[in-house]
Amino acid sequence: MQLVSMRLGIFVLASLCSFACGSSDKPGGGGGGGGGGGSKPFPAQPIWQPSGSRVTWNGFSFIVPQGMVGTDRIDSFDMVDPNVCLVSAVKPIPAAGDLAQQANDLLTSTFTGLGYQLLDDNFGNDLLGFRSQGRSSGGWEYVELRAELTSPGSSGDERGHLLLVRVGNQVYPFFGYSPTTTGCTQLVHDNGAGFVGELRWRELEFSLEFPSATKNDTALASAVIGHWSYFQGVSAQEYVFAANGRYQYWGGLGQVHVVSPTEYEIVTSVFSGDGSYQVKGDVVALFPDGRDAESMLFRIYEQHSAYPTTKTTGKFGLMKKDSAGAYEVPLERTP
């Protein structure tokens, strides 16, 4: 990992040179910000949020994800979990044309410079066809690309990652590397449940602050309105957010118990509820009728796929937490 980190830093800087030459405001009370909900007090903090010491580097700030050690290398700021993950923030460069295409060019040139061939989620070379793309209430937009890294004699388990953030006329690159398919970067075919290993990227993304960006606490309020659902294995969740500030929720969990060698008992648990909601920045607060309020970080983004058919899916990434830790529920917009 140390060798890869050193080589990555060298080639990132060389790549960026070629391209370049051609206060926290998290919700802490109050209300409103879209989504109705009346005058109910906004929960003091989400059920999960990035935690740790905030680092200010090259004019912006972020929190180093849990389990990683940050090192300022002057031209880059490296965050490392040995043998698991490397995330390297590098100095901003001028924005150049389409953000997605610039991300594709940066990721490809950087890792091909390291001797890798980059493959998409269908083992082709259409990285843009599988991109994630969205905007933050913090006043910035982003594109996220992932790739399988192959080289002669390699196992094919290495993964590359780029989160490219645009603020005004500059872009801020965050490169990632994982030596295995169970690191902090995963492709869809690595795990049927989706990007379950990418919590650290969400920790980084939700902690980003750019003083030059204009925040708008109501920017995502209208985007939340609609019907969202997620079905995976034996579990299911559905949310409907109405324009009048009301929401409905339904969830189900199926479990199979072995009663005898010839008998199985199927138990289905159903959870439901409704109430009012409010949106403030990248936090949605739910006020269930007759129960305590809770709030969750979220992101609205597009997930592109080029296989088996070309499509773009609207996503509502809702950050939840249980006894096993934090995780993102990638709800899909339902027509």
Report the CATH number at residue 197: 3.40.1000.10
Higher pLDDT: 324 or 210? It is 210
User: What is the C-alpha to C-alpha distance for residues 202 and 176, in angstroms, rounded to an integer?
Assistant: 13
The tokens of 299 are what? 């992101």
Average pLDDT over residues 26-47: 61
User: Would residue 215 count as lying in a domain?
Assistant: no
- Domain residues for the domain of 130 are 2-207
Burial 133-152 (b: 16+ CB within 10 A, else e): bbbbbbbbbbbbbbbbbbee
Q: How many domains does the chain contain in total?
A: 2
> 120 and 21 in one domain?
yes
> 234 and 177 in one domain?
no
Average pLDDT over residues 120-124: 92
Of 150, 172, 207, which residue constitutes the final position of a domain?
207
Amino acid 127: pLDDT: 96
> 231 and 193 in one domain?
no
User: Would residue 214 count as lying in a domain?
Assistant: no
Alpha-carbon distance values, 204 to 111, 175, 177, 240 (Å) = 22, 12, 15, 28
> 196 and 327 in one domain?
no
> 265 and 162 in one domain?
no
Report the CATH number at residue 286: 2.40.128
Q: What is the pTM of this model?
A: 0.84
Of 207, 230, 263, which residue constitutes the final position of a domain?
207
Amino acid 264: pLDDT: 45
Amino acid 182: pLDDT: 83
Cα 271 from chain centroid (whole Å): 26
> 167 and 145 in one domain?
yes
User: Would residue 213 count as lying in a domain?
Assistant: no
Average pLDDT over residues 47-54: 94
User: Would residue 225 count as lying in a domain?
Assistant: yes
- For residue range 69-86, what is the model confidence (pLDDT) as tens digits? 999 999 999 999 988 899
Amino acid 159: pLDDT: 94
> 21 and 156 in one domain?
yes
- Do 240 and 248 meet the contact criterion of CB atoms below 8 Å apart? yes
- For residue range 124-172, what is the model confidence (pLDDT) as tens digits? 999 999 999 999 999 999 999 999 999 998 888 999 999 999 999 999 9
Q: Give yes or no for residue 22 having a pLDDT over 60.
A: no
3-state helix, strand, coil in the chain (%, to 5): 15, 45, 40
The tokens of 240 are what? 């409907």
Amino acid 4: pLDDT: 52
- For residue range 171-219, what is the model confidence (pLDDT) as tens digits? 999 999 999 888 888 888 786 544 456 899 999 999 999 999 999 999 9
Amino acid 97: pLDDT: 95
Of 207, 234, 258, which residue constitutes the final position of a domain?
207
> 274 and 324 in one domain?
yes
> 226 and 202 in one domain?
no
> 240 and 125 in one domain?
no
Report for 89-93, 179-183, 258-262: range of highest mean pLDDT: 89-93
Residue 257 three-state SS: strand
Average pLDDT over residues 16-29: 43
Q: Give yes or no for residue 296 having a pLDDT over 50.
A: yes
Give the CA-trace dihedral at 53, 171, 122, 7, to 10 degrees. Answer: -70
User: Would residue 212 count as lying in a domain?
Assistant: no
The tokens of 53 are what? 């010491």
User: What are the residues facing 206 on neighbouring strands?
Assistant: none
Amino acid 187: pLDDT: 86
pLDDT-derived band at 233, boundaries 50, 70, 90? low
Average pLDDT over residues 220-249: 89
HSE (side-chain half, CA atoms, 13 Å) at 64: 18
User: What is the C-alpha to C-alpha distance for residues 99 and 142, in angstroms, rounded to an integer?
Assistant: 8
